[in-house]
Structures are given as C-alpha cells and as structure tokens.
Amino acid sequence: MSSPAIRRIAVMTSGGDAPGMNAAIRAITRTALGHGLEVLGFYRGYEGILNRDYTMLDYGSVSNIVQRGGTILRSARSREFRTEAGRRKAAGNLEALDVDALMVIGGDGSLHGASLLGRVWEGQIIGLPGTIDNDVYGTDHTIGYFTALDTAMDAIDKVRDTAEAFERIFLVEVMGRQAGFIALGVAIAGGAEFLLLPDEPVDLGDLADGILESRRRGKLSCLVIVAEGAVEAGIPSLDGRSRIRDTATLAKELEGRLGFGCRAVILGHIQRGGRPAAPDRILASTLGTYAVEVALEGVTGVMVGMHAHKPGTVSLDEAWSSSRSLDDYELKVQRTLL
Ligand code: F6P
C-alpha cells in the first residue's frame, strides 16, 4: 500500500506502564524527526487525545530517557474512550490537530482501543506492544517484560536467602493478569520449586504433599511462584468448602496443613518500575524505529512486533483478539528442574 505523504505523527503510552516505553518514544521521535516529520506526544494515553493534552517533541525532549523507567508521556486507562462517542471525539481532535499517523504503545486493551479508533478515524494507526505481561499476540516479547522478569528474579533471590535461613516456605505472587509469562519465566530463572499458573487447576493438598516431599529430599527452603491470575480465579481451600482468592490466605492455609512457617510476598507494582533492562531498550528502540518506517510506507491498522529477532507486522485486530500461550518447552524445563 503506498501512502499519501505524512507530515505529522503522534505518539502515546496507554494502560499499565512498562519499562522501555521511554526508549520507544525516543526511537519514534528521532526516526520521525529524521524523516522531516513533526512529532506530537499525547499525555495520559487516550485521555490526552480527548483533552487535547499534548506537547511537541523534539530531539531534546527525548534526550536522556532511554535509561528511565515509567513514561515521560504518563499513562492512563480512559473510561470515556471506551464509548463510541468518546472515540468519535478523539477522532475529531486528531483531525483538528492535523495528525496523520498515531503510534499507540500499550497492551491488549490499548491495542483494542486503537483498532476501534481506526473505525472512526481515517488516519494511520500503528500499535507497539508495551506491557510487562508479555501476553500480546504477534510478537515474541513485549516491551517491559524482560525488566519485570529481572526485578521479580532479583526479589525472589532475596526471598530465597531468608527462606533458607528460616527453613520456611514462601509464596511469591507476581503480576501478569491472566497470563503466566512472568510467573513461568521467574520460576525458571529463580529456581522455584512450585508454580501456580492461571488456567491450571491447583490442588492445595497435592501442593502440601509436594512441599513435604521436597523437605524429605533435603531442601531447606521452598519457593512457590503464584501468578496473580491463578489466585484471583480462586483456589479451592483444603476442605473444599471455599475458594481462596489472595496469596496471604493461601499461605495461612498451607501453614495450617504443614505445621511450619509459610509466608506470602506480593511483589506488586515494583515489577513495573526501574531502569529498563538492555533487551527491553533494544526491543523498544527497534520497534519504535520500525513503526515509523511502516507508517511512512502508508501501512495502517497494524501492530509492529518481533519474530526471531526480525521486526514485522500483524493486524491490530489479530493482535488484541488472539491469545498467546506459554511455551511448552519452557513449561517442561520448569518441571524438570524443580
Ligand atoms: O498489565 C500490567 C499490569 O501491571 C498487570 O500485570 C496487573 O494485573 C495490572 O497491570 C495492575 O493494574 P493497576 O496498576 O491498575 O493496578
């Protein structure tokens, strides 16, 4: 598809922030400026379009941010944009601001929003997968995942020290919504003994037996990685009468059965912050550069992603509506190395 020339592009970050978003903003801005385009940055995702809250970006505005976590454009989840009327208002604002192409950096929800905007706005829309959850279809990894994994791994290494000293069991809850990518990755990287994943039934009696067996084999400490999606869905209590929906209660329930110390650690939002790890900076820089090149070719309605170290595109609709499953071989590795 060849394009009418584009003159002005806009960039925004939306939904849960992810380390590396700044590197993507920088890459988009500098690539676009290099092609003689103007670059506008909307604040707070779709809210910024609805409120015409933006800034013009130049080389200087994106200096010294490749190494910073968070997002200089801030992020938000917009209620108004979820309505048809909100999206029409956003389209009107984009037209009034002479935006020819919009770059949306975010996860599933933000990409879905981008696809819906494409039905009411004629400009070009390109998505970039930015979320720590790594659950976006059409890319091998999402911007932010590697850093979140490092942060979680660093935390569980520390938990291991105290677990070992006190010969305790620790349940460590990690983020990831309904996806278990962070949980599986950190279980392998941190050598966790057990892993509770979303969509996999958990039998607490079996887990308690497994922990006792690992004690018999001489393990002093035991780490159980709990994907937040696993516990939010509810895990049947030991007597089967209720469902446990939080990791602290899960730890108490296990302690009651085992008779020795079980503690819960909920890593929470620290997984979203911090200096982006090198793989996130490289991924974000590559996808940001590629997104502008794709826009210059006149392409619209796609998300850029990485496959086997090469950038490519997938339709926005496919990106938000298809799901990615965990890698079977990684699951096997985790179970083999307990
Ligand atoms: O999607 C990113 C994420 O951090 C998820 O892992 C988590 O479930 C969710 O966002 C938390 O959202 P909030 O910051 O609104 O509590």
Ligand 1 interacting residues, C-beta cut-off 6 A? 16, 107, 131-133, 175-177, 228, 272
Give me the mean pLDDT over the 13-21 stretch. Answer: 98
Gap from CA of 228 to ligand 1 centroid (Å): 10
User: Is residue 2 predicted with pLDDT exceeding 70?
Assistant: no
Above 50 in pLDDT, residue 10? yes
SS3 111: helix
Mean pLDDT of 34-60: 98
Contact between 54 and 10 (Cβ < 8 Å): yes
pLDDT at residue 107 tops 90: yes
Tell me if 307 sits within 8 A of 324, measured CB to CB: no
- Per-residue tokens: 238: 């030991």
Q: What share of the chain is helix, strand, coil (3-state, %, to 5)?
A: 45, 20, 35
What is the CA(177)–ligand 1 centre distance, in A? 7
The pLDDT score that the predictor gives to residue 281 is 98
Average pLDDT value for residue range 39-50? 98
Using one digit for the tens of pLDDT, what is the confidence trace for 233-291?
A: 999 999 999 999 999 999 999 999 999 899 999 999 999 999 999 999 999 999 999 99
What is the tens place of the pLDDT at every residue in 142-188?
Answer: 999 999 999 999 999 999 999 999 999 999 999 999 999 999 999 99
Long-range CB pairs of 253-256 (<8 Å, 24+ gap) are 253/204, 254/169, 254/171, 254/204, 254/207, 254/208, 254/211, 255/169
206 classed as catalytic: no
* Strand boundaries in 77-185, DSSP class E: 101-106, 124-129, 169-174
For residue 283, what pLDDT is reported? 98
Tokens of 84: 């048809």
